[in-house]
Amino acid sequence: MTAAPHAFPGDLPIEDSLIKQHKLTPDEYARVEKALGRKPSYTELGVFSVMWSEHCSYKSSRVHLRRLPTKGPRVIQGPGENAGVVDIGDGFAAVFKMESHNHPSFIEPYQGAATGVGGILRDVFTMGARPIASLNSLRFGSPDHPRTPELLRGVVAGIGGYGNSIGVPTVGGEVQFDPSYDGNILVNAFTCGVARTDRIFYGRAAGIGNPILYIGAKTGRDGIHGATMASDEFGSAKEGTGELATASSIKKGVRSTMQVGDPFMEKLLLEACLELFAADVLEGIQDMGAAGLTSSSVEMAGRAGNGIEIDLDLIPRRARKMTPYELLLSESQERMLLVAKRGCEDAVIAICKKWDLDAAIVGRVTDSKRWVVKATPGFDPLDGGSPSGEKQIAADIPVDVLTDDAPLYDRPRQSAPVSANVDVPESTDPSADLLALLGSPNVGSRAWIWRQYDHIVRGGTVVRPGSDAAVVRVPCSRDGKVIDKHLAFAVDCNGRFVELSPEEGAKMAIAEVCRNLVCSGAEPIGITDCLNFASPEVPTTMDQIARAIDGLAEACRALEVPIVSGNVSLYNETNEGEGASRVRRPILPTPSVAAVGLLQKETDVVTQWFAGEGDVVFLLGTDAGEAGLGGSEYQSLKSGKLGGPAPRIDLDAEKKLQKLVLDLARGQLLASAHDVADGGLAVAIAECCATAPGSKPAFGAKVTVPAGASVAASLFGEAPLVSSSRFARRTARRSKSRQRRRAFRSSSSAARAATRSPSPSALTPSTSRCPPFAKRASAVSSRSSAPERQREGGARQARQTSPGRSIGPGNGRAFLLVARIRSGLPGSRAIQSAPSHARQALVNDETRVRRALESMGRWVGRWCGSCRLA
């Protein structure tokens, strides 16, 4: 037991109403008193409120998160630090994480989204990495809801305003709309950086006696209790502000919990930190994010097993008469807490001064294992002069009470009732249904959003938004050598599937985000998650959380991709009314996942759009019609309801399928590849037809649906599938027109033959027969500039010179693989008539593909390229 801290001006008496406002339950408050051996001070109550909140402690999810696979041969740092770290070879590592900023973005969309971007950037460069790419995952309510347009515009503007200003490209993301998000939108931000493996920095207060420095922007009253607000559901208009009582709010009215960002200050902070890392003057570094100075100092002490002592009189500030409570809980942005090596303080301050940043020594590392905060009552450095009185203790708490010994709950669980099947009418006019889907909010073009983001700053973006995954080239310099690394990024989640089946929906999210990477030629090497759910105090929601985590874990183990970082955002719901009339409106369970992939070389890059007339499109995977229309966009379009069983995924088949597609991409055998997801096969084909960048032509596609199958399920079902196309080398001299006619005839015969067998299906793109949906898709597709086409031209030309034939398995998630069949199988007339060197290349190519299939342990159907030139 320690002596009670000093009572500072503005402190409030500890009463039941104040404890309730700080979101501590009676049992939790009793634990506080037991741990301290006394009543807490007003400042200490605020500290426990934020450190024991869901946002900081994960008290309802930690017991389940332990089941996630977090280790692997490439993993350098898993969960528990500011970001995950994965080895990408040659002495470099990818550093990445995804975080939520949901509640702040609903309250004030621009600043909420902007500070979400700023926070995730700091999490990454705190580890010693320079950020190279950002993505986002957004959820909004119904487009018809009166607040949706305002929220959408504000969030998009906030993401672009911050990201564009700091100079980190926003290269991709996803946006979905559903009425469940009407009162609680989701804004999840992802950033990846690259660092040297021998220069990874951690948030640890190491070295007894080492000085602790505060650098960055000054502290104000913005964002006080933001972490606690993020751990509470929205209720009435007053509750929806997320306000908590402070001395000033009780006297002057409600005070905002919103943070305010400054991207230009963040840019200075970024460059200063990178220079400090290179100077080798730091022992540890931590971003002052949620819970501000409190969480950063407590977490650093906890990871190192040490204590910390802080002098609040030395904190740079911009607001007058700030109390210890406000200084410790402020979430003012663009601030860092450093532990410098002893004797290096002056060097740290000099570098910060060079970048026009405030820097001050505010404390030291101790061996007490306690978190001690001191201040002089009534002292305000903005008044000038020095403290005249004796420093008093504002808080004195054992570090482990705030970290390892925080509450941990295994909350009650109850399975939700099985969702009833929803009758969905058959498609009597597929063209009209496709047009309706292409114009729907969840399928239509997102170009108007990502065009507001600078996705080419730094000059490394190889594949821009609009394909399955973004690809960024990263020049990595070491020992005078520059090595180009190519990383791919994707983010994904379908909340409808998770609502119908938490396990299957979570598995589908992992499978699809990895599928997006392999469709781009990249090997998935690491995943970060952002688990967005409603209140864990509701047993059915807690069951969703636990089962979704199990689904994520199962899929990651099956695909051998670890989860190395992440975030949990709970209480995403709106409660309207009181007592018996209270109505609970939870969001769809949304465990968003982002994945990072590694390409061996730039010529491995594959994009989703069709590249040439006469290419043959192959559908790899199960027939979507087998899984029905549960959770699909078509079901929503036709019935306005959600029901029926979610599609199920065979993870073993998925792994084999992804390996095959990746092998074909690395073998330069694919012209394009695209996964079948929202809207089903028909939408995937339309996207392949019309999403090519720049002035490239839109293509049409002839599609034959197998006889006896449901047209709606086959065209618009969202069971796991993939499509691809591949270029073949020209082997004989023919006129262009003759080549085109023969290629078209060959492709058409392939389509007819494929419809007679269940696997694979074949589709033929052709500019000469362009159905209405291709023209419509062209109208909603995005276009990029000529420089983009020039940058992509080199990789595309390299792929065009490689022969091959597209083939694939008949199980697992579906892919569309597009192949330009201008040669036949060994022994065909096309090969026999080819020059000897070309003939040998074609035979070698057939052997490569055959071996890829045989490596899967099975012969899949027959050669998709068996329909050859006559």
Residue 353 to residue 861: CA distance in whole angstroms: 68
Q: Which of 725, 811, 705, 718 is nearest to 765 (CA)?
A: 725
> Three-state SS for 281?
coil
> According to the annotation, is 60 in a ligand binding site?
no
Q: Pairing state of beta strands 461-463 and 130-140?
A: unpaired
> According to the annotation, is 663 in a ligand binding site?
no
Q: Which of 571, 651, 477, 420 is nearest to 58 (CA)?
A: 571
> According to the annotation, is 358 in a ligand binding site?
no
> According to the annotation, is 103 in a ligand binding site?
yes
Residue 30 to residue 347: CA distance in whole angstroms: 46
What's the distance, CA 793 to chain centroid? Answer: 29
Beta bridge pairs of residue 286? 337
Residues taking part in catalysis = 55, 101
Annotate 400-444 with three-state secondary structure.
Answer: HHHCCCCCCCCCCCCCCCCCCCCCCCCCCCHHHHHHHHHCCCCCC
> According to the annotation, is 566 in a ligand binding site?
yes
> According to the annotation, is 386 in a ligand binding site?
no
Q: Which of 402, 230, 390, 148 is nearest to 300 (CA)?
A: 402
DSSP assignment of 755-803 equals TTSSS-EEEEEETTS--HHHHHHHHHS----HHHHHHHHHHHHHHHT--
Q: Are 203 and 304 in contact (CB under 8 A)?
A: no
Measured over the CA atoms of residue 761, residue 762, residue 767 and residue 769, the dihedral's sign is negative
> According to the annotation, is 122 in a ligand binding site?
yes
Residue 395 to residue 397: CA distance in whole angstroms: 6
> According to the annotation, is 144 in a ligand binding site?
no
Q: Are 328 and 373 in contact (CB under 8 A)?
A: yes
> According to the annotation, is 287 in a ligand binding site?
yes
What's the distance, CA 210 to chain centroid? Answer: 36
Helix and strand numbers (H, E) in the chain are: 29, 27
> According to the annotation, is 747 in a ligand binding site?
no
Q: Are 638 and 424 in contact (CB under 8 A)?
A: yes
> According to the annotation, is 16 in a ligand binding site?
no
> According to the annotation, is 529 in a ligand binding site?
yes
> Three-state SS for 531?
strand
Give 297's Cβ-side CA count (13 Å radius).
30
Residue 593 to residue 132: CA distance in whole angstroms: 19
Say which residue the tokens 């200084």 belong to: 327
What's the distance, CA 154 to chain centroid? Answer: 20
> According to the annotation, is 544 in a ligand binding site?
no
> According to the annotation, is 101 in a ligand binding site?
yes
Binding-site residue numbers for ATP are 58, 97, 529, 566
Binding-site residue numbers for Mg(2+) are 99, 123, 287, 567
Binding-site residue numbers are 58, 97, 99-103, 122-123, 259, 287, 331-333, 529, 566-567, 569
Binding-site residue numbers for substrate are 100-103, 122, 259, 331-333, 569
